[in-house]
């Protein structure tokens, strides 16, 4: 392809200038009113056919390059005439434009295919794409232009695949999206539906075209087709976001793109059954688009934070299960990062998020918000105990400890949040709230020591000791101030019992020599 352009770029440039001259001559004749529309169309068709016949009959046998240039200019003139009659002016119906374009394109494609006339196809394509750029109508005949471009793209993709003329599909791709941009700016449509449908049609057409082209090329899905496919996705994404802004949630087109890319990834996998860049790029693009679309579901709703937590927690679990089954650390790290991010997000947004009451009644822990805390904590504990990374022993223990400590922080947040909302929902005595929090944090310290004994990790003895010390300071200096109540007495008895239970667990823990080794390593 590169060698072809090096040899023939001057010829193609000269042909481009002549095509522009034809197009502007048509436009100038219209503006000046020299002749009526019917004679102009008839003259364009007659001259175009005459030039094509002259190039084929008289020149191709003597000078192949000159014959291709002249024939291509004749085809370009025919395309310009069709563009003038059906796109610039509404003189022909859409079906007439379609049939005329079909006849011209089939003829030139058959000639180029039989005689291997590569330059002819380039000049014809330039004529087909440049004419609508120059002859921009005042009225909207975009459907005729759509049919016009459909015929051109189908023919040139066919020849590009059959002859391995890769540059033809690239030129058709660039020219079509350029025409879309020019006509969108020119008409500045007030509605989004038709522009979106045209853009979506182009996107789907090129996805199918590039996949079919790769399949025909010994199922080689990389190279030019991969890069053009990437550009196709980026262009459609930008147009979809622009066209649907403020009208339809952008998650809808993104979800559709995600499904299409997953289907494309399936086709690529069926083609060669190996992991390639083309497969991974389409698979990852499809998954990411679906994830972004799903994560934005419910945007603007009061329950959006809860929906996000549940969705991404399930994503983290699914990726981690995949990593466990395939023994792939990459999947495990991705799942871990997702869990950390969504845990941080929930920790900072939960205080203003709705409770998600069941049966319109607040039941501690049995509400949508409480279950979100529990779900994140359970996932963290599972990652701490069951997930093994291919790392050194010390690093593996550090990772396990990180997940366990983070999960216990989620447990602490769960206890604090649920007790706080219990008092707020049932309008209980506010002075007893801080005493109840002291009890919950005492239970939290007990859970830390229990987990440390279970997992044999000395870090939780220190963590639990810090929490217990803070509870003691809070109780002595804050909770005991003010008037004496029977509730304070009950709280002190409970804290005493909890502290003694912690002391018992701590003493039992110290009796195991393995724990002493763990403490020394800490």
**394-412, pLDDT tens digit by residue?**
677 788 888 888 887 888 8
- pLDDT at residue 294 is higher than 70: yes
**Strand, coil or helix: 361:** strand
- Band (27; pLDDT cuts 50, 70, 90): low
- pLDDT at residue 494 is higher than 50: yes
Which tokens go with 505? 């667990």
- pLDDT at residue 236 is higher than 90: yes
The CA distance from 67 to 61, in Å, is 8
Tell me the three-class secondary structure of 267-328, residue by residue.
HHHHHHCCCCHHHHHHHHHHHHHHHHHHHCCCCCCCCHHHHHHHHHHHHHHHHHHHHHHHCC
- pLDDT at residue 486 is higher than 80: no
- Band (516; pLDDT cuts 50, 70, 90): very low
Which tokens go with 3? 């060698």
Which tokens go with 519? 């403490």
- pLDDT at residue 203 is higher than 90: yes
Lowest pLDDT segment from 207-211, 229-233, 293-297: 293-297
- Band (513; pLDDT cuts 50, 70, 90): very low
Within 13 Å, how many C-alpha atoms sit on residue 104's CB side? Answer: 32
* pLDDT tens profile 239-280: 988 888 877 777 888 889 999 999 999 998 888 878 788 888
- Band (168; pLDDT cuts 50, 70, 90): confident
**Buried residues in 58-69 as b, exposed as e (16+ CB within 10 A):** ebbeeeeeebbb
The CA distance from 121 to 69, in Å, is 10
Q: What is the pLDDT of residue 98?
A: 77
Q: What is the pLDDT of residue 207?
A: 93
**Strand, coil or helix: 222:** coil
Beta carbons within 10 angstroms of residue 408's beta carbon: 23
Q: What is the pLDDT of residue 160?
A: 87
- Residue 53 near residue 101 (C-beta atoms within 8 A): no
Beta carbons within 10 angstroms of residue 224's beta carbon: 18
Mean pLDDT of 480-501: 70
The CA distance from 379 to 365, in Å, is 17
Q: What is the pLDDT of residue 317?
A: 92
- Residue 449 near residue 464 (C-beta atoms within 8 A): yes
Kindly give, in sequence order, each residue whose CB lies less than 8 Å from that of residue 135, ignoring residues fewer than 6 positions away: 23, 26, 27, 80, 83, 84, 87, 88
Q: Is 164 left (phi over 0), alpha (psi -120 to 50) or beta?
A: left
Q: What is the pLDDT of residue 90?
A: 66
- Band (519; pLDDT cuts 50, 70, 90): very low
Q: What is the pLDDT of residue 137?
A: 62
- pLDDT at residue 512 is higher than 80: no
Q: What is the pLDDT of residue 376?
A: 92
| 176 vs 73: which has the higher pLDDT | 176
Tokens 């789907």 belong to 204
How much of the chain is helix, strand and coil, in % rounded to 5? 80, 0, 20
- Residue 152 near residue 105 (C-beta atoms within 8 A): yes
Domain boundaries, the chain: 1-187, 189-297, 305-428, 431-522
Q: What is the pLDDT of residue 43?
A: 74
The CA distance from 259 to 400, in Å, is 36
- CA-atom Rg of the chain in angstroms: 36
Structure letter (DSSP) for residue 475: I
Angle of helix 118-134 relative to helix 94-115, nearest 10 degrees?
A: 160
* pLDDT tens profile 31-44: 666 555 667 777 77
CA distances to 161, 171, 224, 417, 488 from 166, in Å: 7, 9, 8, 62, 83
DSSP line for 32-60 = HT-S-HHHHHHHHHHHHHHHHHHIIIIIT
Q: What is the pLDDT of residue 80?
A: 79
Q: What is the pLDDT of residue 514?
A: 47
- pLDDT at residue 430 is higher than 70: no
CA distances to 23, 341, 460 from 336, in Å: 60, 9, 21
Tokens 């007439």 belong to 96
Burial class (CB in 10 A: 0-12, 13-18, 19+), 242: middle
CA distances to 234, 316, 388, 391 from 321, in Å: 31, 9, 12, 19
Mean pLDDT of 321-331: 85
Angle of helix 393-426 relative to helix 459-474, nearest 10 degrees?
A: 30
Which tokens go with 65? 């390059």
* pLDDT tens profile 107-156: 888 888 888 888 888 778 777 777 777 666 656 567 777 887 888 888 88
Q: What is the pLDDT of residue 409?
A: 82
pLDDT exceeding 70 applies to what percent of the chain?
79
| 315 vs 47: which has the higher pLDDT | 315
Which tokens go with 308? 């996000």
Tell me the residue length of the chain. Answer: 522
Which tokens go with 101? 């374009």
- pLDDT at residue 24 is higher than 50: yes
The CA distance from 491 to 436, in Å, is 8
- pLDDT at residue 375 is higher than 90: yes
Which tokens go with 164? 């391995």
């Amino acid at each position: 392809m590169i060698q072809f352009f090096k040899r023939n770029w001057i010829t193609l440039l000269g042909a481009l200038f002549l095509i522009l001259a034809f197009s502007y001559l048509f436009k100038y004749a219209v503006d000046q009113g020299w002749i009526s529309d019917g004679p102009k169309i008839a003259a364009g068709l007659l001259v175009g056919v005459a030039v094509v016949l002259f190039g084929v009959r008289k020149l191709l046998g003597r000078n192949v390059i000159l014959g291709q240039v002249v024939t291509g200019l004749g085809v370009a003139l025919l395309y310009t005439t069709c563009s003038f009659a059906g796109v610039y002016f509404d003189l022909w119906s859409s079906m007439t434009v379609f049939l005329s374009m079909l006849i011209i394109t089939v003829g030139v494609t058959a000639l180029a295919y039989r005689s291997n006339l590569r330059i002819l196809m380039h000049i014809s394509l330039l004529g087909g794409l440049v004419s609508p750029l120059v002859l921009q109508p005042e009225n909207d005949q975009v459907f005729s232009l759509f049919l016009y471009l459909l015929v051109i793209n189908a023919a040139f993709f066919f020849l590009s695949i059959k002859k391995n003329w890769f540059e033809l599909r690239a030129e058709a791709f660039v020219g079509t999206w350029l025409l879309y941009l020019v006509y969108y700016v020119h008409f500045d449509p007030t509605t989004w539906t038709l522009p979106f449908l045209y853009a979506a049609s182009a996107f789907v057409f090129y996805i199918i075209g590039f996949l079919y082209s790769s399949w025909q090329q010994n199922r080689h899905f990389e190279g030019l087709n991969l890069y053009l496919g990437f550009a196709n996705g980026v262009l459609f994404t930008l147009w979809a976001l622009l066209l649907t802004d403020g009208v339809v949630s952008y998650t809808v087109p993104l979800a559709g793109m995600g499904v299409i890319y997953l289907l494309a990834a399936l086709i690529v996998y069926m083609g060669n059954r190996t992991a390639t860049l083309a497969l991974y790029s389409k698979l990852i693009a499809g998954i990411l688009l679906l994830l972004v679309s799903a994560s934005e579901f419910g945007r603007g709703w009061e329950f959006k934070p809860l929906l996000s937590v549940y969705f991404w927690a399930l994503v983290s679990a699914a990726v981690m299960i995949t990593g466990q089954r395939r023994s792939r650390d990459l999947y495990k790290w991705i799942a871990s990062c997702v869990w950390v991010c969504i845990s941080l997000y929930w920790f900072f947004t939960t205080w203003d998020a709705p409770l998600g009451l069941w049966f319109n009644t607040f039941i501690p822990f049995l509400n949508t918000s409480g279950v979100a805390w529990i779900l994140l904590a359970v996932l963290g504990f599972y990652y701490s105990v069951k997930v093994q990374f291919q790392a050194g022993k010390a690093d593996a223990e550090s990772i396990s400890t990180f997940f366990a400590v983070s999960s216990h922080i989620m447990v602490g947040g769960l206890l604090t949040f649920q007790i706080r909302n219990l008092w707020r929902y049932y309008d209980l005595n506010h002075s007893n709230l801080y005493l109840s929090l002291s009890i919950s944090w005492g239970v939290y310290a007990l859970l830390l020591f229990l987990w440390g004994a279970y997992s044999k990790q000395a870090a939780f003895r220190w963590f639990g000791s810090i929490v217990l010390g803070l509870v003691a300071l809070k109780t002595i200096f804050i909770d005991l101030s003010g008037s004496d109540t029977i509730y304070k007495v009950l709280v002190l008895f409970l804290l005493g019992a909890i502290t003694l239970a912690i002391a018992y667990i701590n003493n039992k823990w110290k009796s195991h020599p393995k724990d002493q080794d763990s403490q020394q390593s800490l």
